Amino acid sequence: MVSRRKQYLWQHSSGRWYVRKCVNGKMIYLGRITAKEDTAEFDHQYWEIVSGKRAEAKTSWTALIAAMRETDKWANFSPRYRKDLEPVFTYLTEKIGKADVVRLTQADIYDAMEKNKHRVRFANYIPTAISMLSKLAIRKRWRKDNPAIDIEPLKVPKARKKPHVPWTDWAVERLRDEGESLPVLIFEIGVGSVQRPGDWVDFQWGDYDGETLKLRQNKTGKPLLLPCTEALKTALDRAKAELGFVPHPLRHILTRADGSAMDYHAMARVMVRERKRLGLMAFDQHALRYRGVMELAWAGCTDDEIASFSGHTSKAMIVKYAGEARQIMRARQAAAKRK
C-alpha cells in the first residue's frame, strides 16, 4: 500500500499516479509517477517531484532530440520538414524532456494527440517525431521498441475541412486593379511561380535574372528554374524600382517595412488584410497555386508540363485543378460554337 505520509499523491481513475497539491484553491499538478506502486523507484520519483529536484535521465528525450539534431539524417531533411518538426520537439522537451525515453508508451502518445486534437496537423506530427526519435533510441540501445508504430492519425472533422477555392477571373482582376503594391507582388509571385506559399518568402533578388526565378522547394528539396509570366516580371521590376537602389542579391524580395525578411505569417497577415478590404476572403493565398495550375492548363500544357513547373510530386492536385480549367475552357469553346 502507498504510505499515508505521501500527502500529495493522487491516483487517476485510469490507474496512473500523480503528484499534485492545492495552491490558493487551485489544484496544481507537479508530475506523474511512472514507476510501479510499492517499489523503491516509486518512492524515489515521488520525493524527487515533491522536492523539485527531479533529475534528468541520461537517456532523456532532451538528450535524444539533441542527438537527432547532430545526425546526417536531420541535416538531409528539407528546411520545410525540419521547420514542421521543431514545434513538436519543443513540445516534447517541455512535457517529457527530463524523462527516460524507455518509459514512454503508445497510450502516452495517444494521450498527447488527444490533448492537441484542436490542432490536428500538429497532433499528427507527434507520433511522426516520436517514431523518428525512437528509431535513433533503438540504435543507441536506449529502448528496444518503437511505441509510435501503427499509431492511427487523427482526422480533420468534416466541419473544419475548407477546400481551397481557385481564384476566379473577377477576383484576379479586382486584386490586380485595386490591390496595393505589396499584396499585388505577393499575388503575382503566387500565381506566376505556381509554388507553395512557404516558398514565396524565400525568394531573394539574386534568384531573379529579369526573366526567370530559381528556387529549391522547401518541402521536396527539388531545384526549379521558373520562367516568369509578364505580370510577374512587371510586379518584380516595379518592386525593384520602388526600392530606389540596386538590392543586394541576398536581400529577400518580400520584406517588412524595415527591410527585414518577411516570414510566412507576416505575409499571410498582409494578404488577409487586403482580401478583407477587397471582399475576396473566399479566395485564400494557398489557392493562388491552383490558379497558376489552371492558367497553365488553359495555355494547353499537359499534366507533365505543369508538374515540371509546379514541382508537384503527386499529380492528384494537378489532375483536379487542371481538369477544372480544361472543363471551363471546353465549355467556353462550346458556347462560342453554339452562337
- Domain regions of the chain by residue span: 9-51, 61-159, 169-338
What length does the chain have?
339
Least confident of 20-34, 192-206, 246-260: 20-34
Tell me which long-range contacts 330-336 makes (C-beta under 8 A, separation of at least 24): none
Question: Mean per-residue pLDDT for 237-261?
Answer: 93
Tell me: pLDDT of 334 over 90.
no
Tell me: pLDDT of 156 over 80.
no
Distance CA 93, CA 97 (A): 4
What ranges in the chain are assigned the alpha helix state H?
A: 40-51, 61-69, 72-76, 79-96, 106-115, 120-139, 169-178, 181-193, 197-200, 230-243, 264-278, 287-298, 303-310, 316-338
84 Cβ contact partners less than 8 Å away, ≥ 6 residues apart:
125
- For residue 230, how many other CB atoms are within 10 A of its CB? 9
* pLDDT on residue 338: 77
* pLDDT on residue 2: 46
Q: pLDDT tier at 1 (50, 70, 90 boundaries)?
A: very low
* pLDDT on residue 53: 62
At the fourth CATH level, which superfamily is domain 61-159?
Answer: Tyrosine recombinase, N-terminal domain (1.10.150.130)
Q: pLDDT tier at 54 (50, 70, 90 boundaries)?
A: low
Q: pLDDT tier at 109 (50, 70, 90 boundaries)?
A: very high
Q: Looking only at Cα atoms, what is the longest distance across the chain?
A: 92
Distance CA 291, CA 175 (A): 13
At the fourth CATH level, which superfamily is domain 169-338?
Answer: Intergrase catalytic core (1.10.443.10)
Q: What angle do CA 214, 219, 225 make, to 5 degrees?
A: 15
Q: Is the dihedral of CA 53, 54, 57, 63 positive or negative?
A: negative
Query: When comparing pLDDT for 170 and 326, which is higher?
Result: 170
Distance CA 106, CA 224 (A): 41
Question: Mean per-residue pLDDT for 180-195?
Answer: 95
Q: Which of 165, 178, 207, 180 is nearest to 192 (CA)?
A: 207
Q: Grid cell 533510441 — which residue?
A: 137
Least confident of 3-17, 155-169, 308-322: 155-169
Tell me: pLDDT of 119 over 80.
yes
Question: Mean per-residue pLDDT for 239-248?
Answer: 93
Q: pLDDT tier at 22 (50, 70, 90 boundaries)?
A: confident
Cell digits of residue 157 = 472533422
Cell digits of residue 294 = 489552371
